Chains A and B, each alone.
Chain A
Amino acid sequence: MRFSIVKAVIYCILFALSVVWLFPLASMFMVIVKSNEEFSSLPYWGFPRLKSFVPNLSHNIGIAWKKTHIGVFFINSVIFATLAGVGSAFLASLAGYALTQLKVKTPQAWFIGIFIGNVFPFQMFLIPLYLFLNYIKLYDTRIGLSLVYVGICVPFALFVYRNYAYTLPGELFDAAKVDGASKWGSYIRLFIPMSKPAFLVIFCFQFIWTWNDLIFGLVLSERYRPVMTSLSKLQGQRGGVPPPILITGAIIASIPTVIILLTMQKYFVRGFTLTIEK
């Protein structure tokens, strides 16, 4: 009897907290199905006519995508985040391969030399990167920001590859060498296919980080902004963008990370737990 009362209390607590967690999402819905006029005339929790839900929503999407240029910034972010995910994984896979399977002198020292970049907060890089990109005329360019994002993502990517590469059977690489495979050949035919899980962890982690980044975009771009930075600018202009448009834009900007986290959550969580695996 006591047991079931405890259970009931636990359920009640969890349901109450669930309501708190879902309430903001429900209130989003109330905004994006209204037109600007309905948003200002109707009470917050007042529904517009059911028929106008879909037309309002699609109208809001259209305005957010084109008029506020969320579309352009969205594409910028697709470029930045994809390059950061794939590019850092590629660079780190080369280095991780060399550190674990090839005979490089003092691999531990090289590892720490690269990984230490991950130890500093991003704030340590901002001012010099701003000055440097201005100096080499890459400030406010897609190339400049892409290079920065890739560079920032490399240390953690190397950490993942190195940890993963230790689990690969070294005999396989030795055997390939005996069979006359070149270093590049082993990398392409053995290392890359076998380290696919490491790639997925890195891609998932770094794509999401880059996609969600606000500060680098704020400091290093004006016109070629990533999507989060552009949203923060729209939010900053008080009264400039009506809530239905802004919220719709924010939801559009969340679609990629929502999809990745719903389909690849396992790899994302691995990115965290990897650091405490021994």
Chain B
Amino acid sequence: MAARRPNRENAFLYIVPALIFVLIAELTPVVYTIYLGFMEWDVINPPKWAGLKNYLRVFSTPDLLNALKNTAVWVGGTIVFSVGLALVIAVLINQVRLKSVFKAIFFIPATLSPTVASIFWSRVLVSQKGALVSIFELFGGSLQPLITNAKFNTFIMIGIWTWQYLGINLILFLVGLETIPQEPIEAARIDGANSWRLFYHIILPLLQPIMLLVVANAVINSIRMFDIPWVMIQGGPGRSSETLAVSLYRESFLLFQMGLGSAIAVVISAFSFLASYRYLVSIGGGRKR
């Protein structure tokens, strides 16, 4: 018995380094952010208790309500375009030859970072003297720089995100389509099901696990969307295209409202949890041994 004890301590030592890193980089910050969410703090003066004031501000300040709205638009737009279009393309690609060529074409932008994609698009495609504007002018038309239009620049950015990220969703759907069992499809086909019924009643349900992954991933990514609105136009013009993540950055690190920034972080987390609850349960449980 005496010989086993050092063994057990020994085993625990293997976990300690990972635990320390996670404690410092993640777990303590989470607790501290929740605490700061209840405080009013400008970094210079000592923090003051603010109760739920920061949370009330998140849901009442026009700029932040607008950020909430933009974030919701991002979530909806991403599901329709980045996920929906990827599914359509995956199903179409599965019908043709040249499968790997098309797959590669749609995947190329996914090898770039959102920052790089934003720079490409803002400098080259939608700027004053850009590629798209030039083509319009070639045909005698004119195109205002779309990105500075507060009415629809969020939609333009969702389009850019779709261009950049669709390839990853596409590849995941193709993996899903390759791994679904063929027997039910064959059986339905023999029974005379048409393509649409086949897709809707047989293929889509079989794709469910991959669907859950792709949708959860898309929703989480868009709830936290920062890179594209920030690099394209810094949440502007004004604060019109800010997402919650951009507002958080502005409030905390440009306006030094650490309490308000923390409250926004908690709100982002809460939405992430709500959106990915099923997905988290399915992976958090992990595999039973």
- Which chain A residues have a beta carbon within 8 Å of chain B's beta carbons? 7, 10-11, 13-14, 17-18, 20-25, 27-28, 30-31, 43-45, 91-92, 94-95, 97-99, 102-105, 108, 110-117, 119-132, 147-148, 150-152, 154-155, 158-159, 162-163, 166, 183, 187, 211-212, 214-215, 218-219, 228, 231-232, 235-236, 243, 246-247, 250-251, 253-254, 257-258, 261-262, 265, 269, 272-273, 275-276, 278
Contact = CB atoms under 8 A, between A and B. Distances in A.
B111 interface: yes
Contacts, number: 283
A261 B19 contact: no
A113 to B, nearest CB: 7
A245 to B, nearest CB: 11
B189 interface: no
B172 interface: yes
A43 B137 CA distance: 11
A272 B213 contact: yes
Interface in B156-187: 163, 168, 171-172, 175
Interface stretch (B51-59, B74-82, B100-108): B100-108
A54 B269 CA distance: 49
12 contacts: A21-B163, A27-B125, A28-B120, A44-B134, A91-B17, A104-B8, A123-B245, A124-B265, A127-B32, A235-B119, A257-B111, A261-B107
A121 B268 contact: yes
A68 B22 CA distance: 35
Contacts of B45: none
Given A110-B15, A151-B24, A214 B115 contact: yes
Nearest to A26: B131
Contacts of B253: 130, 218-219
B283 A276 contact: yes
B3 interface: no
A177 B132 CA distance: 67
B113 A212 contact: yes
A120 B106 contact: no
A123 B248 contact: yes
B14 A43 contact: no
- Interface centre among B24, B111, B261, B279, by most chain A C-beta atoms within 10 angstroms, is B111
B22 to A, nearest CB: 5
B230 interface: yes
Given A183-B10, A269-B172, A31 B124 contact: yes
B11 A102 contact: yes
A116 B113 contact: no
Nearest to A234: B119
Contacts of B8: 103-105
A212 B265 CA distance: 21
B124 A14 contact: no
B268 A243 contact: no
B95 interface: yes
A23 B92 CA distance: 21
Contacts of B92: 10, 13-14
A114 B286 CA distance: 14
B14 A95 contact: yes
B22 A117 contact: yes
B238 interface: no
B92 to A, nearest CB: 5
Contacts of B10: 102, 183
B129 A44 contact: yes
A10 B111 contact: no
B155 interface: no
A112 B284 contact: yes
Contacts of B249: 126, 215, 218-219
Contacts of A246: 119, 123
